[in-house]
Amino acid sequence: ISAATIAITWFILATTVKDAAGFSSLPNVVTMKKSSFRLKTPLFLHQNNNNNDYDDEDTIQTEQEQLNTKRRNILQKALLLTTTTPLFLPHITNAFDGGVGGLGKTKPEMGIIFVNPDDISTPTSGNGEIVTNELISPKAGVPVLVSFEAPWPTLRSSSNIESRDLANPEAAFVQVASLSSGQKSVTKGGDVVLKKEFFEETVFGSKGKYGAYGSPTDIKVKRLPPSSPSTTTTTPNSPTIYSITFTTLTPAMRESERKVYISTYIINDQDVFMLVVGSTYNRFEKRESLLRRVAESFSVVEAPKSSLKKFNTKKIVMEEEDDE
């Protein structure tokens, strides 16, 4: 909004208040003149001038109606002005968007670095298409192909890959985070298991989507066993899936119980690629089969090794910030 628009708006509002103050006192002035006239008029003249009194009362009533009409017109203009000028309207945001501008919260840090940021793919309509993006593993510095089934429309920005049901709370989004030695454990069979602390610091941290308005509480993490080969398309390179329940805060500061599947891949024992799929706790059971299918469709494949140098991820991130 330009400075000229703001100045004109304040001028009209000030004029409206001034006019309202001025004409609101006019009926009293007329009444005072009428009363003083009656007090100074002798009794015999007052009795002989009944018809004139009626005429004066009609005049006063007419003036009062005109003043009321003027008042209504000014109030209508003021109401129209306040409803059409977006000077005092708050910015509306969606839950868990993070930059969705609410409460001064910046965009969540998803850790996504595209190999080619300018190659913006066409959003899918959400009919179960496979969405594929070429990303860079931050610490390892190698390109990887990330794909998953998108049952809802996909939304992609310079730092976000998301498939969201626009009419319901179901959604799936990709997040990448670096892994430290204290955030994982190794089973007797050699499987790497991510600890609860890893998810608390990444997906549920203050810089993640669910931690935008306060740290989630009651976080319970469970690692799921691989599905039966007879009922799924599980392959040797299938992701490790965790089932997590938690309570988070919405932009209105209300508690919301939610449940998600988090599919994970670890690249070079340094970076964790995740697909977070979930909904509200009450709707999760109704949509569980679909959510599980999306979680199992997640795939991260490291690009073939070559003689090319590793990507300088720090330089790429700095260039993206300069563009913004």
**DSSP of 157-213:** ETTEEEEE-TTSS-EEEEEEEE--GGGEEE-TTS-EEE-HHHHHHTTTSTTSSTTTT
Query: Under a CB-based contact definition with an 8 Å cutoff, are residues 26 and 67 in contact?
Result: yes
Per-residue pLDDT, 148: 95
% of the chain surpassing 70 pLDDT: 59
pLDDT band at 130 (very low <50, low <70, confident <90, very high): very high
Helices 3-40 + 50-84 axis angle, to 10:
170
Whole-number average pLDDT of the chain? 74
Does 303 have pLDDT greater than 50?
yes
Report d(CA 300, CA 237) in Å as an integer.
Answer: 9
Does 240 have pLDDT greater than 90?
yes
Query: Under a CB-based contact definition with an 8 Å cutoff, are residues 137 and 268 in contact?
Result: yes
Please compute the mean of the pLDDT values over residues 102-129 and round it to a whole number: 73
pLDDT digits (tens, 9 = 90+) for 140-191: 889 999 999 999 999 878 788 999 999 999 999 999 999 987 898 877 777 8
Beta strand 154-157 with 160-164 is: antiparallel
pLDDT band at 99 (very low <50, low <70, confident <90, very high): very low
Per-residue pLDDT, 13: 60
Does 63 have pLDDT greater than 60?
yes
Phi, psi of 275 (to 5 degrees): -115, 115
User: Which residues have CB under 8 Å from 139's CB, separation 6+?
Assistant: 178, 268, 270, 271, 313
pLDDT digits (tens, 9 = 90+) for 241-276: 999 999 999 888 899 999 999 999 999 889 999 999
**Span between the terminal Cα atoms of the chain, in Å:** 21
Report d(CA 295, CA 149) in Å as an integer.
Answer: 8
Buried b (16+ CB within 10 A) or exposed e, 189-214: eeeeebeeebbbbbbbbebbbbbbbe
Best mean pLDDT range from 81-85, 154-158, 297-301:
297-301
Query: Under a CB-based contact definition with an 8 Å cutoff, are residues 135 and 114 in contact?
Result: yes
Per-residue pLDDT, 70: 73
Report d(CA 46, CA 37) in Å as an integer.
Answer: 10
Please compute the mean of the pLDDT values over residues 217-235 and round it to a whole number: 72
Per-residue pLDDT, 32: 43
